[in-house]
Amino acid sequence: MARVKLQEINKVYENGFHALHDINLDIDDGEFMVLVGPSGCAKSTMLRMVAGLESVSDGELSIGNTVCNDLAPKDRGIAMVFQNYALYPHMTAYENMAFGLETAKKPKEEIEKRVQEAAELLEITELLSRKPKQMSGGQRQRVALGRAMVRKPDVFLFDEPLSNLDAKLRVSMRMRISKLHQQLKSAGNPATMIYVTHDQVEAMTMGDRVCIMNKGHLMQVDTPMEVYNNPKNKFVAEFIGSPSMNMLFGQLQKRDDSLVFHIGSSDFVLPGDKQTQAALWEDRHVFLGIRPEHLELAEDGETNTLAATITAVEELGSEKFIHTHVYGHDVICKLMNNEKQLKAGDTCLLRLNMDKCHLFDESTEFNIFYNK
Ligand SMILES: Nc1ncnc2c1ncn2[C@@H]1O[C@H](COP(=O)(O)OP(=O)(O)O)[C@@H](O)[C@H]1O
Ligand SMILES: [Mg+2]
């Protein structure tokens, strides 16, 4: 059993800096949890606390059924993989992987068996006699992963393990780690994995659930699709998704019987259910959020449209991104298989798919349509 539970966890560093605020997070046994957020939001702090490398200032941390606040790192059943591999340069890949087990006085045959098994799974059997400097970055990172695996930990902790690799290698290592999680589960030895990254693509593709953090606060914890489709607040909405969700600042106003989002000289009519949910915000300022894929080119005379000046066009083959400037906001529109020739300086008419829009309260930045 390796459920990891953080209850009312706070971290205040010795210099008085309050890095983590009242964190409540319950990670299931065998779950793949991604911690994601901008640099400096205290992801590493949180992971290092689970590892036992950083003390808990307040609150309770448990792994399995054991409260671990004061438990030594070696007694927690965890293994950690870092960004900089931290391999011993004078040891071969085999020796690096075996080292922890030797220190723990495991029998030689057991060590041999575990290293070979891990090497096979990671496809590094041919590299076992090489030293770190004779290997590429991706190979070193696989050895570092193998070194964690041979310890058969209940919990794997990853701190941005792929950020030193080039884009292509990152994709293949990302899939390898996800596959490892699956394989351990199918083999009946599920491992809990906590994976720290600032990369929202890794967060979206790897996690069973994603925990989004900002400035030491927990913003939202849910499945990748939920945080994408049902973001709790403006921060999550803008952090998850690439390019980011577009934001327009305007006011909700009543027109006849309808509630509209008003900006500049444009009105956008909210669909029926959204009108009910937003009724309390009539005459108040709000942010309207809409993803680039929920904008499309429109013809004159259509409703819910916006005239925009194109600032740049990015052609990516099957899709293109139209960057525009509207009422002081940068707005990006994603077009699929669109043949129309557009260029910077042109004007275009954009239609907002209002069924897909979000509204955020001006002061709390909470999503008015958030449902859970
Ligand atoms: N030992 C320390 N003493 C004081 N402040 C620290 C210490 N370690 C980290 N911090 C601060 O805590 C915040 C979170 O750091 P960190 O957990 O490394 O963030 P992340 O991993 O999300 O980039 C940062 O503002 C950082 O400067
Ligand atoms: Mg970090």
Res 344: pLDDT:
95
Q: Taking Cα atoms as reference points, which of 20, 22, 23, 4 lies closest to residue 12?
A: 20
- Please write the tens of the pLDDT for every residue from 174-231: 998 999 999 989 989 899 999 999 998 999 999 999 999 999 999 999 999 999 999 9
Domain count, the chain: 2
Q: How far is the CA of 61 from the centre of ligand 1 (A)?
A: 19
Closest C-alpha residue for ligand 1 atom 2: 13
Residue 314 lies in a domain: yes
For a ligand 1 pocket test, name from 17, 23, 57, 215 the mutation site with the most ligand atoms within 8 angstroms of its C-beta: 17
What 3-state class would DSSP assign to 330? strand
Domain span at residue 77?
Answer: 4-239
* Sheet strands (E) in 106-203: 155-159, 192-197
41 lines ligand 1 (CB under 6 A): yes
Same domain assignment for residues 51 and 94: yes
User: For ligand 1, atom 3, which residue shows the shortest CA distance?
Assistant: 13
Kindly state whether residues 285 and 269 are assigned to the same domain: yes
Does pLDDT of 372 surpass 90?
no
Q: Is 162 in the pocket of ligand 1 (CB under 6 A)?
A: no
In the predicted structure, residue 254 carries a pLDDT above the cut 80: yes
Instruction: Establish whether residue 50 lines the binding site of ligand 1, counting it when its CB lies within 6 angstroms of any ligand atom.
Output: no
Question: Same domain for 51 and 169?
Answer: yes
* CB contact at 8 A, 344 and 313: yes
For ligand 1, whether the C-beta of 19 sits within 6 Å is: yes
Residue 296 has pLDDT above 90, yes or no: yes
- Same-domain pairing of 162 and 256: no
pLDDT band at 1 (very low <50, low <70, confident <90, very high): low
Average pLDDT over residues 248-266: 95
Give a yes or no: residue 371 inside a domain.
no
Do 24 and 147 fall within a single domain? yes
CA of 260 to the centre of ligand 2 (A): 42
Contact between 308 and 344 (Cβ < 8 Å)? no
**Closest ligand 1 atom to 159 CA:** 21
Is residue 99 domain-shared with residue 183, that is, in the same domain? yes
- What is the CATH classification number for the domain harbouring 154? 3.40.50.300
Of 198, 224, 239, the position where a domain reaches its end is: 239
Ligand 1 pocket check for 45: Cβ under 6 Å: yes
Q: Do 232 and 108 share a structural domain?
A: yes
Q: Which of 207, 239, 271 is the last residue of a domain?
A: 239
pLDDT of residue 34: 98
Asked if residue 366 has its Cβ within 6 Å of ligand 1, the reply is no
What is the mean predicted confidence (pLDDT) over 82-111? 92
Q: Are residues 213 and 289 in the same domain?
A: no
Domain end residue (candidates: 239, 258, 278):
239
Q: Is 38 in the pocket of ligand 1 (CB under 6 A)?
A: no
161 and 40 assigned to the same domain: yes
Together in a domain, 182 and 294:
no
Q: What are phi and psi of 291, to 5 degrees?
A: -75, 150
Query: Could you tell me if 141 and 85 are in contact, meaning their C-beta atoms sit under 8 angstroms apart?
Result: yes
Task: Give the tens place of pLDDT for each residue, 130-176.
Answer: 999 999 988 999 999 999 999 999 999 999 999 888 888 899 899 98
Q: Are residues 49 and 195 in the same domain?
A: yes
57 part of a folded domain: yes
What is the distance between the alpha carbons of residues 283 and 230, in angstroms, rounded to a whole number? 24
pLDDT given at position 38: 95
Q: What digits encode the pLDDT tens for the residues 308-340?
A: 999 999 998 889 999 999 999 999 999 987 778
In a domain, 344, yes or no: yes
Domain assignment of residue 368, yes or no: no
Does one domain contain both 57 and 77? yes
Q: 327: domain CATH number?
A: 2.40.50.140
How much of the chain, in percent, has pLDDT values that exceed 90?
Answer: 85
- 55 C-alpha vs ligand 1 centroid, how far in Å? 13
Does 31 fall in a domain?
A: yes
